[in-house]
Structure 1
């Protein structure tokens, strides 16, 4: 392993801790996440199918932005 791998592991750990703190303290305010317009939900009887299309697109954009910023500043 080289020194860059250590930096990436530290950053990933800090990001996980930050996400955990946000979810822990603001879980009641994040209930809209996963229920955005465009998320596909099908419920009939005992069958439930849920596919969060728009939520995954937004999360993908945020993760790509985070990765871009990490690569730019590290």
Structure 2
């Protein structure tokens, strides 16, 4: 199998696993997206939401996971 095919299969499996976790543990993850530092502006006709702290946290977690995977492979 081509390397890109393997990558796509693994990415698909990880997305399915993430979806299952969010589906079954959604009420326990309600804090995600509401962290201090997330920018939220709500006015009469405009709502703007920029989850900068959540994105930084996700980036750190994903970077750590990738580093661990690279170390073992």
Please list every run of 5 or more consecutive structure 1 residues that lacks an aligned counterpart in the other structure.
Answer: none
Aligned equivalent of 2:29: 30
Give the root-mean-square deviation of aligned CA atoms.
1.8
User: Which SS does the other structure have where 2:41 is aligned?
Assistant: strand
Deviations 1:11-61 (A, max 9, x none): 433322321111110011111110011100001101011110110000000
Q: Normalising by the residue count of structure 1, what TM-score does the alignment of the two structures yield?
A: 0.80
Please list every run of 5 or more consecutive structure 2 residues that lacks an aligned counterpart in the other structure.
Answer: none
What displacement does 1:6 show? Answer: 5.6
Count of aligned positions:
73
What displacement does 1:10 show? Answer: 4.6
Query: Which consecutive segments of 4 or more residues in structure 1 shift more than 6 A?
Result: none
Q: Normalising by the residue count of structure 2, what TM-score does the alignment of the two structures yield?
A: 0.81
Aligned equivalent of 2:13: 14
